[in-house]
């Protein structure tokens, strides 16, 4: 495999991004079919429209010829806020490493890169949500230095 590099997503990446979105949702669908449909979080048109939005950047890991992973981000600026400190957070809305290259260190490269990028852009922290039905993802996020900030709980009523 060639050297892995990170960059902003481009229009030509949309088919690969859609495949990765399908892969990550399949994990969620299998884990919580009571909540998830077999679909993708975004349409190809949504992905294309988001690419130029600096408040919702999409990054890809590539080996020069193939998109191997993506990180969809959202800028969350809490300034000013009467309750919270004046901080800017980079929220990772979606992350996926291709099922053909998982376990090869690409996820760590991508996350280390996003932490460095966020730091250089003046973000206070990087956050994301992880589903309990995906323990491998949670273990990975802990391995790259993330820790629990808050917990969402549920009681199913039907």
Residue 154 covered by a domain = no
CATH at residue 137:
3.40.630.30
First-to-last alpha carbon distance for the chain, in angstroms, is 48
**Is 123 part of any domain?**
yes
- 114-144 tens-digit pLDDT: 999 999 999 999 999 999 999 999 999 999 9
Work out the mean pLDDT of the chain and round it to a whole number. 96
- Cα(137)–Cα(91) distance, integer angstroms: 16
For 88, the domain range is 4-144
158 in any annotated domain: no
* Reported confidence tier of residue 13, pLDDT bands at 50, 70, 90: very high
| pTM, entire model | 0.94
Mark out the alpha helices in 32-134 (DSSP H runs). 44-50, 106-120
Number of domains comprising the chain: 1
Decide if 89 is inside a domain.
yes
Separation between Cα atoms, residue 106 and residue 61, nearest integer Å: 7
């Amino acid at each position: 495999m060639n050297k892995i590099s990170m960059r902003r997503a481009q229009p030509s990446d949309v088919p690969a991004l859609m495949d990765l979105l399908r892969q990550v949702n399949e994990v969620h669908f299998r884990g919580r079919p009571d909540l998830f449909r077999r679909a993708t979080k975004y349409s190809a048109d949504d992905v294309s429209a988001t690419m130029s939005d600096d408040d919702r950047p999409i990054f890809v890991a590539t080996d020069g010829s193939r998109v191997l992973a993506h990180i969809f981000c959202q800028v969350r600026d809490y300034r000013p806020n009467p309750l919270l400190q004046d901080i800017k957070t980079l929220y990772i809305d979606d992350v996926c490493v291709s099922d053909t290259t998982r376990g090869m260190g690409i996820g760590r490269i991508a996350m280390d890169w996003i932490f460095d990028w966020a730091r250089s852009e003046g973000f206070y922290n990087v956050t994301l949500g992880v589903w309990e039905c995906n323990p491998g993802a949670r273990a990975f996020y802990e391995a790259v230095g993330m820790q629990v900030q808050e917990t969402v709980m549920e009681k199913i009523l039907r």
